[in-house]
């Protein structure tokens, strides 16, 4: 009882709604054992940018061998399904065969009938009738034909008739040869002539010819091995001849070798003649196992004296009633034999024999008993295929115990059973046998309204469930090395699946595999049939399938599916949570069961749960409803019938209601379920538009959870035509016949525009990837509009490259685009509404186009690759369009490189000059990016097209500094020249041209010329004509889509794969564009069927749904490996926590002494490449991270003076790293960099000594979009607050943006109300919402994030008059902070005091270079600026905040031979770098010559 409570507790817990969590918490997650209490409990520390989405970016992990599911349905080659059976009895009663010498006494019973107690013909009929009843007890659905003492002709006729009736299915042939001679060594069995005067031999070759294939053959006779071995020989000969002469068999016919055989004994053996056993002991074991098992038990075991064999055979009950003694024994016997077979036989053999056909499964299950009994009488039963011996399996002891427990109650049972002593044996039944056939035992003559006896049920199933529970609770999830105690290989060949490694690397435990599954698994399956044990069995099964896909596969192989399907019809509320859990795991591993759920109507079970409004009816309601949404989405995925069934059951409406739930997992799966239901389904899309679902989804793009935002974009993408399943996708939003044509057009544009503006600046690359899929759908359907935008952008780009904007050429070019747009709009006549509508729509397309251009240079490689695929497709269409025939677009030389000013070019002026946005409809549509890199111009796009794969040009990727240090090999140089790649960098570039993309080296790529534009003499058409034609072509495509939909384009598919293949009405690919056939609406002399020969690479395919499905293959009921006490990861984190606490304790003691001690103790000297600009020291690990002026980042172990890593940040040439932080220091560390291009990049696994895998980019995003051009900027200034997961971003911008690491979204933008750049940001590491900002003009402002935007600036200080180098809070006194300017002034401010400084220091009259404050002790440090008069040495002062005199003054050599005329980067106005250690009494100083000195405090 206690174990039941323990396991059921898993279903009463609550789920978490934290969007940053990787899983929801289940009840078993919270259980703690007594051993756990002895371990230190780590403080809950939230590591940011460490969730699964950051390690995979929405890419499904590589599937292990679990992707190759074992055919658990029995669909393996050679599947057998029995159609009918021939029961051939050759007994010839009263006449013994000549080669058999019988003992006296001798076994006589045949089918429990004594043939000598009746006349021979009646006895034969009784035996045949009993045999038929015994076989019917195995399977009632099969017709059985007794063939009694047949002649050769009768046998031949019956066999041929059976094969005709069975067609291609299996025929069962039972042969009892007890009355004829033994089979011959040549493979002949015997029957009779018509007069029964001769034995007639029948060759197995003839039997095979009559019965065909496949078949099941049972040989019950002495020397039966002759038949088995010769049958195999003949079958192999027939199969070889068939494959040699005819190339195989006709469809539906199986090879003869696929037939199954069961033989009673070997070739040299004779059947037992023991008088206590029936003569047909082999048949009795196969067809009446409980009777023969009871008889055998009383023969071999000592029972109490009051139990006789006659009493045993009167055991009351019904075989089909598990509540009776006889039925319970039959139930236990089935469970034991199933378990013996499953634990002994190979997986494919078990599935074929025990899970394909009921009769075959019963025969082979009972064969195990025959082997056990007959081997004790020197008979060895055989089978084909041959099976390992099972007669000594340990579970037979459990069977003997169950029999003993039952029989010891027999005297009392018979005494309380009315009429039991008055049941005399039937005259045709042998001594000791009971009356009635196998299916009904011990029936009383009179009805009895009361329970006839009180039977104490066996504890067999309870004990087996307890053993199963012990296996799970005592390390069932543990991994082990390959061996006898590990999960067996599938069929001895395929490797079993192992848990996926998140980081995609070979972990130290990669060679470990799951443990050998518990032997009780098939028994648990049998317990599902019992109402009292069902809930406990289901809970244990759910805990088992939670171990991973391998466990689900095992459960399916054993045969749980029919049972779990029937349980969906149960009305019990207590089964709901566990059934939902198990079904979610099954569908996550094998989605093909969607057809079964549809055919049986089982999906309605989950639809009802999802639609219920009462949360109290279901424990942990939100999580289980999310599972239901997943199950229903799997039913609808790529399956039209499933989509329509879910729609009719109002699943679509239920999901739309759940979009506003508080649990992020439920919101996520509700959106994904909507995506799968309306994927390529016009009817459901119409239904969704009528209810405004697309607008509701767009509003959800501000959701706190990145997973939800991605799911919403996925749903919008499938709405816009992306493929949710295996299809290519296309056809936009379908027909939308209820909408007018223009409204339909505006709706598609509005959906894409709204989504683009909502998430274009999202910090999650996973969200940006899904946005690109959505944009690709719009590009595919409205490619003409995008070609127009590309041409106008190209013209604008040419104007910028041509020179100054006031030249005559510029005015001519401006007139071209302006005039083309004006002429195109003039084509709408005097209808101002149409003119404005089309101008606004084209402006929307241009906005999306500009965002797409920005995404082509996204810092996250996958996003950039996908965006380049879409953009190159557009430009390829532009090259193939009539625009290319205008002499306004001359071909561009491949080696052309646009000029770049500091790597960043402002797009404000050129965008404002575009005729598209002279009258912007809204501010958001009128402001394209002003940070677009010029390396993304059309010239570089041509380079991408020429090379097949877009490789960065030579000026996009920073090379390592020269000269190369000796420690770097050539491979190191190449690796360091590119930024680290994300973990699952699986996005592949797809070229718009037919040549498949292959990676080319730079030299090869330069040798390939770009596609040549079509040359035409003098075009007779104008740009406005081309615009008109391209736009009209898009409308023709829309009309064709709507027309075909109205004419019944949809053909309802009957199975999976029939949905998701809609093709958009024949105008899908560019080469199918047919506007040239309908050109009467335009005066364009050439047809505008653009893009002939281009590959149909759009829309893009998303892997997000598959990634989300992985959630339901991961353990939910137990802690992750890192949280599991005793695991390597857990022990490591416990050690780190204890080590960190020790560091904190020691440094707190040192901090008091350090305020009055000298800071000149040498610790270490390092030498780095080039000029160290920014430095950051790890608080607990001996790591120093340095960024140099070549944007290379190096990680050092300063205690060992050893460089651990060296890599490139990847920011554009002309920019530099301006901020450097280490986050998540408590649990390891992630390097965060901010560069002057406005990009934040994060890197993990920078320490190779801990074997966490290769260095990887975790994430990257544009932290500031609106960088302004200033003469002297600060780049990007970051401040990271670990306690709240807040990132403050400022710099060359008039705003300070607050990012939330939990949600990866911008929380708010605060106006600085200052024209100068932000030079420093400092936030309090406590719970305060205030932060301090320093500016280039000397202002220092205090912001409070809790206030409204206009009131956020709470204090302003004006004492400084030059660039604020840094601001820091007082480490000891709350409410005070320090600031320092380049003029050498250091000020101490009190937030509660006046606007004047509380204390001032003027330390460096020639100027200040660096300033920092130690975070633990009241000490700050400054370094002097380099001047022409003093540049060889630099003065460093360490000063106490509470004392006026400095603690230490050092003169440090700079290593310079000449005064540098300017700083190493325009964004950092200093020549040296300085950083205090966050905890220890240390600091690091970086000098221009690359030397880094680490110095400490003299504490003694």
Identify the band that residue 1096 occupies on the pLDDT scale cut at 50, 70 and 90. confident
Beta bridge partners of 1161: 1496
- pLDDT score of 21: 43
Q: How many CB atoms lie within 10 A of CB 467?
A: 14
Res 4: pLDDT: 39
Question: Rounded to 5 degrees, what angle do the CA atoms 270, 273, 278 make?
Answer: 115
From residue 1, give the alpha-carbon distance in Å to each of 89, 465, 466, 521, 542.
52, 12, 10, 20, 18
How far is residue 1466's CA from residue 713's CA, in Å, rounded to a whole number? 40
What are the helix (H) ranges across 168-223? 204-211
Sign of CA dihedral 693, 696, 702, 703: negative
pLDDT tens readout for residues 925-949:
333 333 333 334 443 444 344 333 3
Query: Which tokens in the block code for residue 396?
Result: 């037979």
pLDDT for the residue 168: 85
Query: What is the pLDDT at residue 924?
Result: 32
The rounded distance, in Å, linking the Cα atoms of 1384 and 1406 is 7
Task: Summarize the confidence of residues 57-84 as an average pLDDT.
Answer: 68
pLDDT digits (tens, 9 = 90+) for 1392-1448: 888 888 888 888 888 898 999 999 999 999 998 888 878 888 889 999 988 878 888
pLDDT in tens, 385-404: 999 999 999 999 999 999 99
The rounded mean pLDDT for the chain is 79
Query: So what's the pLDDT on residue 1045?
Result: 63
Q: What does the block give as tokens for 529?
A: 């049939």
Which neighbouring-strand residues pair with 1378? 1368, 1388
Tokens 């920019």: give the residue. Answer: 1215
Contacts of 1 (CB under 8 A, 6+ apart): none
- Which 8-state DSSP code applies to residue 1193? E
Look at residue 662 in the predicted model and tell me its pLDDT: 87
Give the Cα separation of 589 and 587 in Å (integer): 5
Q: How many Cβ atoms are within 10 Å of 1132's Cβ, its own excluded?
A: 14
For strands 1330-1335 and 1340-1344, give the pairing: antiparallel
How far apart, in whole angstroms, are the C-alpha atoms of residue 1406 and residue 1383? Answer: 7
pTM for this model (two decimals):
0.84
- Average confidence (pLDDT) over 1046-1068: 44
Residue from 894, 898, 900, 888 nearest 945 by CA = 894
pLDDT exceeds 50 at position 953: no
**Structure-block tokens of residue 202:** 């029948």
Residue 1387's DSSP bridge partners are 1379, 1400
Sheet hosting strand 260-263, strand order edge to edge:
144-148, 82-89, 170-176, 215-220, 260-263, 382-384
> Which contiguous run of DSSP H or E holds residue 1198?
none
Both structure tokens of 916? 């598209």
Round to whole Å and give the CA distance between 789 and 592: 44
Among residues 597, 581, 686, 661, which one has the least CA distance to residue 633? 597
Contact in structure between 588 and 1106 (CB atoms under 8 Å)? no
Q: Tokens representing 1257? A: 């980019």
Report whether pLDDT(912) > 50.
no
What's the token pair of residue 1391?
A: 């937030």
- R_g of the chain, CA atoms, integer Å: 41
Element housing 718 (H / E): helix 706-719
Q: At which residue do the structure tokens 């000449």 appear?
A: 1458
Q: DSSP strand E in 1049-1191: where?
A: 1161-1167, 1172-1177, 1183-1188
pLDDT of 1349 reads 84
Sign of torsion over alpha carbons 1207, 1213, 1214, 1218: negative
Asked if residue 624 has a cis previous peptide bond (ω within 30° of 0), the answer is no
Q: If you count them, how many residues does the chain have?
A: 1500
Reduce the DSSP state of residue 1402 to 3 states and report it: strand
Which of 504-508, 510-514, 961-965 has the highest average model confidence (pLDDT)? 510-514
Percent over 70 (pLDDT), the chain: 78
Whether the bond between 385 and the residue before it is cis, its omega within 30 degrees of 0, is yes
Neighbour count for residue 392 (Cβ, 10 Å): 8
In this prediction, residue 1340 carries a pLDDT of 92
Give the Cα separation of 654 and 647 in Å (integer).
Answer: 10
φ, ψ of residue 1420 to 5 degrees: the values are -130, 165
The predicted structure's pLDDT at residue 175: 95
How far the first Cα of the chain sits from its last, in Å, is 65
Range list of β-strands (E), 513-579: 513-514
Q: What is the pLDDT of residue 734?
A: 85
Residue 1052 neighbours by CB under 8 Å, 6+ apart: 640, 641, 644, 1058
Q: What is the pLDDT of residue 871?
A: 92
> Among the listed ranges 427-441, 814-828, 987-1001, 1291-1305, which one has the minimum average pLDDT value?
427-441
Neighbours of 192 (CB within 10 A): 20
- Reported in sequence order, the residue ranges of 29-116 that DSSP labels E, i.e. its strands, are 82-89
Task: Give yes or no for residue 66 having a pLDDT over 80.
Answer: no
Phi, psi at 1399, each rounded to 5° = -155, 145
Contacts 24+ apart (CB under 8 A), 5-14: 6/31, 7/469, 7/536, 7/539, 7/540, 7/543, 8/535, 8/536, 8/539, 10/539, 10/542, 10/543, 10/1117, 11/539, 11/577, 11/578, 11/619, 11/620, 12/619, 12/620, 13/619, 13/620, 14/620
Q: Across-strand partners of 1427? A: 1430
Report the SS3 class of residue 1217.
Answer: strand
Contact 1314, 1306 (CB under 8 A): no
Residue 144 is given by DSSP the state E
Sheet-wide strand order for 1491-1496:
1161-1167, 1491-1496, 1482-1486, 1473-1476
What pLDDT is attached to residue 853?
Answer: 92
Percent of the chain at pLDDT exceeding 90: 38
C-alpha separations of 1487 from 543, 1166, 1173, 1198 in Å? 60, 11, 9, 16
Residue 456 has pLDDT above 90, yes or no: no
- Backbone torsions φ then ψ of 190, nearest 5 degrees: -125, 145
User: How far is Cα 1127 from Cα 1371, in angstroms, rounded to an integer?
Assistant: 38
Q: pLDDT band at 527, cuts 50/70/90?
A: confident
Other beta carbons less than 10 A from residue 148's beta carbon: 16
| pLDDT, tens digit, 9 for 90 and up, residues 535-559 | 899 999 999 998 888 888 888 888 8
Give mean pLDDT, residues 905-918.
Answer: 33
Identify the DSSP state of 110: B
**Beta bridge mates, 1484:** 1475, 1494
- Spatial separation of the C-alpha atoms in residues 1442 and 1399, rounded to whole Å: 10
- Residue 1019 is predicted with a pLDDT of 55
**What pLDDT digit, counting tens, does each position of 248-290 carry?**
777 767 888 989 999 999 999 999 988 888 999 999 999 999 9
């Amino acid at each position: 009882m206690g174990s039941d409570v323990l396991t059921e507790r898993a279903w009463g817990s609550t789920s978490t709604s934290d969007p940053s969590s990787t899983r929801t918490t289940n009840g078993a997650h919270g259980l703690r054992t007594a051993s756990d209490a002895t371990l230190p409990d780590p403080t809950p520390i939230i590591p940011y940018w460490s969730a699964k989405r950051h390690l995979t970016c929405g890419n499904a992990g590589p599937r292990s061998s679990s992707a190759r599911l074992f055919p658990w349905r029995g669909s393996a080659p050679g599947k057998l399904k029995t159609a009918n059976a021939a029961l051939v009895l050759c007994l010839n009663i009263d006449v013994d065969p000549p080669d058999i010498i019988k003992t006296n006494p001798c076994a006589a019973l045949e089918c429990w009938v004594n043939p000598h107690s009746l006349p021979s013909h009646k006895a034969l009929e009784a035996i045949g009738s009993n045999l038929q009843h015994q076989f019917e007890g195995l399977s009632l659905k099969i017709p059985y034909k007794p063939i009694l003492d047949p002649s050769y002709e009768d046998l031949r006729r019956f066999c041929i008739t059976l094969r005709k009736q069975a067609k291609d299915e299996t025929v069962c042939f039972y042969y009892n040869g007890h009355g004829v001679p033994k089979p011959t060594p040549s493979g002949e069995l015997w029957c009779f002539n018509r007069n029964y005067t001769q034995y007639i031999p029948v060759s197995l070759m003839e039997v095979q010819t009559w019965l065909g294939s496949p078949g099941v053959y049972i040989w019950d006779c002495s020397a039966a091995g002759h038949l088995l071995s010769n049958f195999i020989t003949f079958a192999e000969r027939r199969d070889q001849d068939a494959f040699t002469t005819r190339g195989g068999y006709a469809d539906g016919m199986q090879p003869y070798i696929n037939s199954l055989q069961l033989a009673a004994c070997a070739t040299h053996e004779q059947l037992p003649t023991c008088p206590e056993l029936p003569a047909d002991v082999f048949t009795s074991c196969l067809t009446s196992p409980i009777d023969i098992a009871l008889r055998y038990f009383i023969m071999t075991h000592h029972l109490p004296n009051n139990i006789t064999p006659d009493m045993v055979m009167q055991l009351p009950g019904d075989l089909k009633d598990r509540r009776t003694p006889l039925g319970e024994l039959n139930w236990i016997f089935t469970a034991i034999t199933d378990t013996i077979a499953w634990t002994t036989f190979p997986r494919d053999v078990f599935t074929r024999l025990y899970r394909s056909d009921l009769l075959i499964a019963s025969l082979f299950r009972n064969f195990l008993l025959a082997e056990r009994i007959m081997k004790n009488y020197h008979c060895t039963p055989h089978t084909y295929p041959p099976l390992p011996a099972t007669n000594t399996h340990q579970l037979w002891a459990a069977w003997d115990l169950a029999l003993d427990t039952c029989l010891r109650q027999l005297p009392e049972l018979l005494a309380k059973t009315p009429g039991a002593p008055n049941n005399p044996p039937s005259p045709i039944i042998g001594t000791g046998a009971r009356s009635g056939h196998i299916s009904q035992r011990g029936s009383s003559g009179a009805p009895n309204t009361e329970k006839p006896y009180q039977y104490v049920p066996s504890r067999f199933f309870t004990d087996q469930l307890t053993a199963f529970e012990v296996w799970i609770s005592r390390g069932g999830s543990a991994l082990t090395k390959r061996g006898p105690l590990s999960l067996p290989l599938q069929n001895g060949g395929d490797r079993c699946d192992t848990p996926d490694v998140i980081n995609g690397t070979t972990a130290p435990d990669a060679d470990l595999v799951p443990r050998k599954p518990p032997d009780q698994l098939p028994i648990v399956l049998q317990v599902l049939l019992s109402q009292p044990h069902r809930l406990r069995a289901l809970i244990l099964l759910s805990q088992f399938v939670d171990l991973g896909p391998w466990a689900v596969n095992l459960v399916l192989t054993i045969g749980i599916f029919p049972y779990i399907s029937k349980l969906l019809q149960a009305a019990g509320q207590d089964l709901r949570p566990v059934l939902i859990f198990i079904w979610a795991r099954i569908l996550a591993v094998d989605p093909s069961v969607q057809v079964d759920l549809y055919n049986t109507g089982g999906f309605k079970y989950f639809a009802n749960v999802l639609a219920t409004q009462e949360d109290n009816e279901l424990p942990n309601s939100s999580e289980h409803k999310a599972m239901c949404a997943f199950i229903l989405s799997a039913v609808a995925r790529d399956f039209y019938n499933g989509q329509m069934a879910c729609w009719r059951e109002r699943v679509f409406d239920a999901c739309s209601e759940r979009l506003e739930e508080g649990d992020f997992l439920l919101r996520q799966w509700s959106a994904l379920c909507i995506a799968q239901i309306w994927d390529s389904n016009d009817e459901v899309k119409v239904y969704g538009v009528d209810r405004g679902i697309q607008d509701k989804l767009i509003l959800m793009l501000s959701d706190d959870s990145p997973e939800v935002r991605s799911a919403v974009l996925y749903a919008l993408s499938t709405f816009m035509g992306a493929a949710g399943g295996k299809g290519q996708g296309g056809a936009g939003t379908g027909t939308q016949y209820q909408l007018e044509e223009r409204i339909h057009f505006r709706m598609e544009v509005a959906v894409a525009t709204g989504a683009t503006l909502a998430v274009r600046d999202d910090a999650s690359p996973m969200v940006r990837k899904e946005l690109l899929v959505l944009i690709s759908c719009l590009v595919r359907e409205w490619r003409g509009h995008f070609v127009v935008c590309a041409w106008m952008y190209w013209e604008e780009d040419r104007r910028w490259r041509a020179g100054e904007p006031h030249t005559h050429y510029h005015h001519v070019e401006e007139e071209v685009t302006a005039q083309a747009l004006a002429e195109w709009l003039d084509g709408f006549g005097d209808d101002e509404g149409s003119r404005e509508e089309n101008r606004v729509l084209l402006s929307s397309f241009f906005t999306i186009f500009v965002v797409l251009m920005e995404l082509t240079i996204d810092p996250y490689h996958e996003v950039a690759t996908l965006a380049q695929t879409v953009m190159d497709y557009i430009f390829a269409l532009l090259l193939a369009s009539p625009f290319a025939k205008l002499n306004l677009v001359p071909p561009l030389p491949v080696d052309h490189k646009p000029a770049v000013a500091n790597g960043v070019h402002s797009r404000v002026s050129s965008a404002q000059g575009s005729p598209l946005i002279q009258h912007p409809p809204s501010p958001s549509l009128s402001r394209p990016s002003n940070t677009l890199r010029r390396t993304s111009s059309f010239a570089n796009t041509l380079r991408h097209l020429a090379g097949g794969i877009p490789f960065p040009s030579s000026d996009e990727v920073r090379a390592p500094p020269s000269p190369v240090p000796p420690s770097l090999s050539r491979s190191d140089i190449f690796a360091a020249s590119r930024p680290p790649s994300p973990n699952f960098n699986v996005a592949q570039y797809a070229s718009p041209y037919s040549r498949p993309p292959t990676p080319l080296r730079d030299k090869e790529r330069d040798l390939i010329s770009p596609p040549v534009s079509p040359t035409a003499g003098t075009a007779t058409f104008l740009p406005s004509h081309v615009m008109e034609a391209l736009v009209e072509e898009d409308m023709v495509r829309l009309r064709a889509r709507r027309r075909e939909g109205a004419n019944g384009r949809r053909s309802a598919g009957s199975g999976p794969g029939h949905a998701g293949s809609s093709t958009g009405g024949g105008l899908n690919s560019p080469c199918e564009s047919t506007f040239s056939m309908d050109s009467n609406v335009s005066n364009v002399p050439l047809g505008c069927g653009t893009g002939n020969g281009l590959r149909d690479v759009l829309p893009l395919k998303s892997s997000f749904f598959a990634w989300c499905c992985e959630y339901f293959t991961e353990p939910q009921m137990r802690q992750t490996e890192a949280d599991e006490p005793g695991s390597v990861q857990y022990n490591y984190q416990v050690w780190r926590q204890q080590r960190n606490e020790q560091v904190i304790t020691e440094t707190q003691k040192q901090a008091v002494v350090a305020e009055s001690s000298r800071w000149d103790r040498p610790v270490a000297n390092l030498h780095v490449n080039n000029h160290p600009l920014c430095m950051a020291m790890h608080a607990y690990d001996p790591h120093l991270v340095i960024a140099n002026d070549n944007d290379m980042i190096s990680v050092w172990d300063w205690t060992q003076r050893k460089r651990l890593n060296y890599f490139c940040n990847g920011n554009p040439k002309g920019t530099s790293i301006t901020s450097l932080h280490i986050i998540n220091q408590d649990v390891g560390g992630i390097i965060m960099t901010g560069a002057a291009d406005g990009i934040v990049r994060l890197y993990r696994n920078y320490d190779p000594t801990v074997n966490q895998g290769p260095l990887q980019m975790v994430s990257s995003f544009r932290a500031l979009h609106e960088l302004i051009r200033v003469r002297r900027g600060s780049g990007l200034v970051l401040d990271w607050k670990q306690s709240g997961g807040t990132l403050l971003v400022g710099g060359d911008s008039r705003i300070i943006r607050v990012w939330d690491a939990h949600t990866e979204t911008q929380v708010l933008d605060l106006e600085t109300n200052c024209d100068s750049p932000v030079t420093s940001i400092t936030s309090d590491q406590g719970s305060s919402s205030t932060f301090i900002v320093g500016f280039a003009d000397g202002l220092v402002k205090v912001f409070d994030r809790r206030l409204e935007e206009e009131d956020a600036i709470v204090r302003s200080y004006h004492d400084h008059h030059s660039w604020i180098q840094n601001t820091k809070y007082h480490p000891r006194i709350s409410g005070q902070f320090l600031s320092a300017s380049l003029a050498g002034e250091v000020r101490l401010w009190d937030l509660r005091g006046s606007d004047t400084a509380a204390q001032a220091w003027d330390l460096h009259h020639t100027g200040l270079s660096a300033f920092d404050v130690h975070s633990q002790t009241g000490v700050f440090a400054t370094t002097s600026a380099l001047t022409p008069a003093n540049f060889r040495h630099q003065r460093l002062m360490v000063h106490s905040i509470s004392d006026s005199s400095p603690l230490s003054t050092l003169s440090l050599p700079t290593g310079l031979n000449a005064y540098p005329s300017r700083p190493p980067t325009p964004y950092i106005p200093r020549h040296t770098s300085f950083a205090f250690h966050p905890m220890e009494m240390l600091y690091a100083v970086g000098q221009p010559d690359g030397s880094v000195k680490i110095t400490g405090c003299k504490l003694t």
